[in-house]
Structure 1
């Protein structure tokens, strides 16, 4: 698949005066940026099958658990944009349209803001909010990053509106200094793969009325089942499993047995570690610290007996 950069996005609809139901109806005409992570199987919020049910307009019970977080994000969007503009000196503005890719009409984009860059070109701004503890998702091994599910969203948007940069501004507390600003630039290899997978999802699943398989982790699948199926019916007759389904039961039992072995080994290791700790404390007597040095370096042991805790750390080599 070859992607040409000589195109302009189409306007599917002006969104400023749409009701929520009308807006949702337009969203169901294709795949939007916030859908991309679910298509790729990397969304922490919903499965590909959840997305399929949404696009098919199949009634799913509302998930009331995180509605406050979603509402806070919507209410603070303009504030986050103002903070971004103040921090960067870049002008931001809205274009209240749902855009459509001219070559792939099922690719849609409903942008938060556009950014005017100093050279007269434009970029996309996505406004995010999170809590203080979740800010760590914007780093990976100490390196600044964009969470993969937001990256997929941004790359989808760049493909639709044919722009080469997306900024993310994430507010994680209640003052302007507690904000994270990141950007990603266009990656055509990623984009082509994304388009190919979205094309399969739209045509082979949504239009073909063929629900995708569950490929996500267990917790997310169980949450999806809870939303889509509701509570179990204790009066329902037993389900007769097919041979392929029985393989899953067999594998579960194998993993359960394997886990039991590992649990026993972990308990044995923890017991031996506790014994070694006790012997170290015995060597230290009434002292709270001990040091050791040899040709390879050294370390310090700290133990506070009164609090029944110990900390073992390495000190810089001398």
Structure 2
């Protein structure tokens, strides 16, 4: 483990610049493909073009930073252990592209503490011995950099449910992380080769963010775009056929139930219950209060829509 710099001496911008010189623990889950909030292509673009980094200084992150000290103190209270801050940015002794910013170090142990906060909607992800995969990768990345024997992770769930867990060093997983990060850093970041753009929600959101500004121009697209469009149309056709087939099977199942609200087979319980859906009658509201009054409560959002139209038959 080698010390790089004391982050207390850095401004926020300088800290971000240092982060772009390697891969941190929060990048590990993305590189291994288990972070649903960010794709590898997005991480590549952020590392190679920092100006493309989305502004993620939202309320969750703001209060997460504030509550880090609360989580650390509660961990001390519940475990009897002592922790201290570590303001160093650390580098792996062999793989310098791997760095670590630790939340806390456990006094008297070769161990670290990672502090988290999350919504109560995510509580099932922390049940029993479970730890979300992206955080498990993050912690094992830190253990790789520091050489520590174990880590603790503590999380405040929904503001009133505290959970802490011990995570043993897993050298097999660490080697997988090192290999994946080595490949990503050397064969993509340093080679300036964009990973494949995938269809994850994170990549979709980032692409929409990156190209939200519109140039009113028509450009000439490369020839390989036709192959891409054919693949899109093939997927649409496949989805349509699959949906129609699903509806067919659902109708056949409904016919088996008839007027009965439920039925049981050897392996399944099937229910076909009545539900009530309530919607606002916009027409009646306009008649009563006037369209101009209702327009005051409309929220407008702008987004780009991708449409494909064939302009020439294939030869």
Given the alignment of the two structures, is residue 144 of structure 1 paired with residue 129 of structure 2, yes or no?
yes
Mean CA deviation greater in 163-172 or 151-160: 163-172
Q: Quick check: 1:220 aligned with 2:220?
A: no
Q: Aligned partners of 2:124, 2:214: CA distance in 1, in Å?
A: 37
Aligned mates of 1:154, 1:83 — CA distance in 2: 19
> Do the aligned partners of 1:28 and 1:57 also contact (CA within 8 Å) in 2?
no
Cα pair 1:99 1:108 within 8 Å, conserved: yes
SS of structure 2 residue aligned to 1:275: coil
Counting only pairs closer than 5 Å after superposition, residues 233-312 of structure 1 correspond to structure 2 as: 235-237=217-219, 239=221, 241-243=225-227, 246-270=230-254, 272-273=256-257, 275-277=259-261
2:120 equivalent to 1:135: no
Instruction: Flag the 1:80–1:258 CA change in 2: closer, same or farther, 3 A.
Output: same
Partner of 1:79: 70
CA-to-aligned-CA distance 1:152-171 (integer Å, 9 cap, x gap): 10010000000121111110
Offset of 1:61 from its aligned partner?
A: 5.8
Q: Could you tell me how far apart the structure 2 residues matched to 1:91 and 1:49 are?
A: 40
- Alpha-carbon offset, residue 245 of structure 1: 5.4
Partners of 1:33 and 1:173 lie apart in 2 by 24
Contact 2:112/2:150 (8 A) holds in 1: yes
- SS of 1:276's equivalent? coil
1:125 aligned residue (105, 113, 122): 113
Q: What is the aligned residue count?
A: 266
Identify the match of residue 109 of structure 1 among 88, 96, 100. Answer: 100
Q: Which stretch shows the higher mean deviation, 157-166 or 260-269?
A: 260-269
Task: Tell me which stretches of 4 or more aligned residues in structure 1 moved more than 6 Å.
Answer: none
Give the drift of 1:15.
0.7
How far 1:17 moved relative to its partner?
Answer: 2.6
Larger relative strand fraction: 1
Q: Which residue of 1 aligns with 2:305?
A: none
- Cα deviations across residues 13-72 of structure 1 (Å, max 9, x unaligned)? 1011311001001111100000001101110211111111111134226345x7111111
Match of 1:163 among 120, 138, 148: 148
Whether contact under 8 Å (2:105, 2:113) holds in the other structure is: yes
The question of whether the paired residues in 1 share the 8 Å contact of 2:41 and 2:203 is answered with no
Contact map agreement 1:80 1:170 (CA 8 A) in 2 = yes
Contact conserved, 1:40 with 1:197, CA < 8 A, in 2?
yes
Q: What is the CA–CA distance in structure 2 between the aligned matches of 1:103 and 1:274, rounded to whole Å? A: 68
1:39 aligns with 2:31: yes
- TM-superposed CA distance for 1:188, in Å, is 1.0
Alpha carbon RMSD of aligned pairs, Å? Answer: 2.6
Given that 1:63 and 1:227 are in contact with CA atoms closer than 8 Å, whether structure 2 keeps it comes out as no
Q: Does 1:172 align with 2:164?
A: no
Runs of 5+ unmatched residues, structure 1: 1-8, 281-303, 309-318
